[in-house]
A and B are shown apart, each in its own frame.
Chain A
């Protein structure tokens, strides 16, 4: 009657652990795997949803162990209500700790694979999410940022890098991102290059490259992306956003901006930049004025977007508003954020205000009237208007329509 299978797998470690549990951790689980030579699969499940999903969790664990051909192991799981894609990521990460394998356990990708990306799409707000904290990822898109950044770099402890990669990959596949752009901040090179194979085939739209100092780093990332993409038939565009966070990065900012057509924006990281300069970061930002100006100008010259650093006091909404308005007046196109509450403040204040829209309307109306009359020169009152001014006004109008600030038919609806 003994149908136990003797294991032939070679284990690199006797015990593997992944995930988080305890304290205030929610929607996550900690999985420990102890493979053995005999005894079959023994699962010790502690879960706050055991009465509702105990059977489900057991079968998911068994399926994954079967996939990795591990017939004998003790699995301890401490679950605070993790969703299936989180359990799968934690299981896979724990398995990777104990065996050497190239195999990856993929859940079916979310059916809502619509692309929410384009070279020059709006990027007012991008919300950073720690790459190893599933609870913060699940509802993040509901707060309507323009982009969500799953962060593998600073928010993930060095010993958690591998499990975060797997979790982020599963998040890219399983989560609903709504209309937000899917972004991942990889680790500093060279480690960041190895992150890419976990991301590129799984629906990421944009890679943030931290601590970027030279154009060749951007090229390295671009080459690796191309190499991975060549293996997959239905590849989608993956953009790159270098983050300038050092004096050397600022010195090279022009070449970085124009390295590759995949670079859609430059971002600045002021915490690291001021540390590199050896100065304190102030609210007024005099210490980073040159760097921010240089970045904006480099971005404009290359025809790409400039993105400002995050504002770190999440309780100070007035301070954030002031900061956004200052950024915008310098020429930035967007800003990072670290709390969902910051999103609406950033979006509202990067959007054109009533005065700008009214002025833009007048210019566009004058332009259309001049066109109708066959006039080559556009004038508003006694002022002549140059073509670039008309173009900018039209851009403001387009943005106002996109943000539902004005109606699509605003021009037709003007009572003449």
Chain B
């Protein structure tokens, strides 16, 4: 059996990481922008249209038929996507089928996992699934932390997933794309139908690079299904099911504006900082990512723009009621939408030509000839921990448990200004620490930390410091913030890790930036 990992070395960030992961070579993190691989992109086998039905009808009766016709067998990598977030109905079915067929040692490569996927723990335990490469949330994360996964878990950002598919590090054998509208040929989108979930951007790479492509829908229309977010020319089989996903479950705490007065205060302080720093000006751009506080910042931007009579050129990120309102009232020229966060976003994308679907290729991909992330003036992001060197952690908590995926977080760090609004402490847990438990983003890319008890600017950003000097913003140093948190909470103990790696954290370029270590149950 393949060793989970081998040959630990210390990388450029001073973290101990494996250089062999699941039997495959891995490159340790070398520094931001240092790793530039040579060679050619990975390509799937050449297909011939002579092998496909002349009438374009690729329908097969069931998902099981489709998977069997794709040649599902031991050791394959199967991918799914999170356009329905916690309302996904496809991934669990795939592994039920694999289990029935007695297939073992599969790799699941989701674009993100959610609490609904706790169901898959039984298949991780019985050997149907060897490991997850993508993200591990909540119960799956805890399972991973205890070292119970057979293979080594790999966590990638949205951009890193595209990079890994393009350079062949992640070879997907079969991808199953859930679409709310599809024709028999396989042209598909997420905009039409009773289950409409928005854009299908996360499935683009899989449709182009996977060995076999299956589209599952509950809304089969006659050719042509437009817009074809997924092109049928990449698709092997189409399947009609009763229900493809639950769009109401897209909406959750991380996709809605917070109602907590403390978080609204953080959002207001962040918007004020941007205003004082001169970031909010006519034609600016911003990213409002997942997380109630980040989304609320967008709403405060809107209020400032309205007062001033200015507008933003574009906003990136998950679209929701508030971004749509800005677009429709003329305070925003374009929404470049990575993911749709509520049904207002779905409706807007379907009818408004200035509300565009983007993909990890356009927004985040390391192997592209540039990407959109760097064009954004300000990105508002979250974190579980920030350390004295401004390094950020988004995957583990201070107690060591792996609980979240990376999402687009690493990729957004390339925006012109990165601001992290976070409470100084959560219950009794300080958020500003000596050293992050897991390194996900290097401090040189993180510019401003906004807490309810003070704002601190990365000393590297002398330009920002100059701009806000003399203002009434509560500016403090990161050390002062850490001391304040410890004065209130006490100084926490360090978690006791066992000497075993359970997951690898990839940087946007595919190198290994850190490892997650095992906890005892």
On A, residues with C-beta under 8 Å from B are 26-27, 48-49, 51-56, 80-84, 139, 142-143, 339-341
User: Contacts of A139 on B, CB cut-off 8 Å?
Assistant: 262, 265, 452
**B398 and A52 contact, CB distance less than 8 A:** yes
On chain B, which size bracket covers the interface? Answer: 20 to 34
B400 at the interface (CB under 8 A from A): yes
**B428 and A49 contact, CB distance less than 8 A:** yes
**B488 and A83 contact, CB distance less than 8 A:** yes
**A340 and B428 contact, CB distance less than 8 A:** no
From B429, B453, B489, B493, give the contact of A54 (CB < 8 A).
Answer: B493
From A26, A51, A55, A56, give the contact of B427 (CB < 8 A).
Answer: A26
Cα distance, A84 to B428, chains bound together (Å): 9
A52-B428, A56-B493, A341-B264 given; 11 more Cβ-contact pairs under 8 Å = A49-B399, A49-B429, A51-B400, A52-B399, A52-B429, A53-B490, A53-B493, A56-B490, A83-B489, A340-B261, A341-B261
**A81 and B429 contact, CB distance less than 8 A:** yes
Cα distance, A376 to B429, chains bound together (Å): 66
Cα distance, A26 to B262, chains bound together (Å): 14
Of listed B264, B265, B427, B496, residue having the most chain A CB within 10 A: B427
From A55, A81, A84, A142, give the contact of B493 (CB < 8 A).
Answer: A55
Cα distance, A83 to B425, chains bound together (Å): 11
CB 8 Å contact bits of B486-510 with A (1 = contact, 0 = none): 0011101101100000000000000
**B265 and A52 contact, CB distance less than 8 A:** no
Q: How many contacts between A and B, using CB within 8 angstroms?
A: 56
Shortest B73–chain A CB gap in Å is 42
**A339 and B261 contact, CB distance less than 8 A:** yes
Q: Given that A27-B427, A81-B428 are contacting pairs, would A52 and B492 also be in contact in the complex, using a CB cutoff of 8 Å?
A: yes
**B262 and A52 contact, CB distance less than 8 A:** no
Q: Given that A51-B399, A83-B489, A340-B261 are contacting pairs, would A27 and B495 also be in contact in the complex, using a CB cutoff of 8 Å?
A: no
From A51, A81, A82, A83, give the contact of B495 (CB < 8 A).
Answer: A51
Cβ-closest chain A residue relative to B266: A142
B426 at the interface (CB under 8 A from A): yes
Cβ-closest chain A residue relative to B426: A81
**A142 and B488 contact, CB distance less than 8 A:** no
CB 8 Å contact bits of B417-455 with A (1 = contact, 0 = none): 000000000111100000000000000000000001100
**A52 and B495 contact, CB distance less than 8 A:** yes
Cα distance, A341 to B427, chains bound together (Å): 21
CB 8 Å contact bits of B380-399 with A (1 = contact, 0 = none): 00000000000000000011
From A55, A83, A341, give the contact of B428 (CB < 8 A).
Answer: A83
Cα distance, A139 to B489, chains bound together (Å): 13
Cβ-closest chain B residue relative to A60: B490
Cβ-closest chain B residue relative to A86: B428
User: Contacts of B265 on A, CB cut-off 8 Å?
Assistant: 139, 142-143, 340
User: Contacts of B399 on A, CB cut-off 8 Å?
Assistant: 49, 51-52
User: Contacts of B429 on A, CB cut-off 8 Å?
Assistant: 49, 52, 81
